[in-house]
């Protein structure tokens, strides 16, 4: 993987590591919109494929999780 390495690691920690997530009610990190994975349509497509591979590889989520992830980011572009 080239663009979804961090996503794959997070899924591995949560799925295979049996780590329980916890909600923290404050902003810990602010990131700019864009970046390497959103630079062009081919990169967006590659990132989407890698995200799906990470979901399947780690046995977490599926197509619904991938769609939700993409839809949740739409607000960043408007």
Identify the domain containing residue 33 by its residue range: 5-77
- Per the structure block, which two tokens stand in for 5? 């390495």
State residue 74's pLDDT score: 81
Q: What's the total number of domains in the chain? A: 1
Instruction: Give per-residue burial for 40-76: e unless 16+ CB within 10 Å, then b.
Output: eeeeeebbbebbbebbeebeebeeeebeeeeeeeeee
State residue 60's pLDDT score: 84
Q: Average pLDDT for residues 46-70, to the nearest whole number?
A: 92
Give the span between the Cα atoms of 60 and 19, in whole angstroms: 13
Q: Is the pLDDT of residue 67 over 90?
A: yes
pLDDT in tens, 1-55: 899 999 999 899 888 877 888 999 999 988 777 778 888 889 989 999 999 999 9
State residue 23's pLDDT score: 94
53 within 8 A of 6, measured Cβ to Cβ:
no
């Amino acid at each position: 993987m080239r663009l979804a390495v961090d996503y794959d690691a997070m899924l591995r920690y949560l799925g295979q590591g049996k780590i329980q997530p916890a909600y923290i009610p404050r902003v810990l990190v602010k990131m700019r919109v864009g970046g390497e994975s959103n630079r062009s349509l081919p990169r967006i497509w590659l990132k989407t494929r890698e995200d799906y591979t990470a979901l399947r590889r780690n046995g977490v989520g599926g197509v619904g999780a991938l769609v939700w992830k993409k839809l949740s980011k739409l607000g960043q572009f408007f």
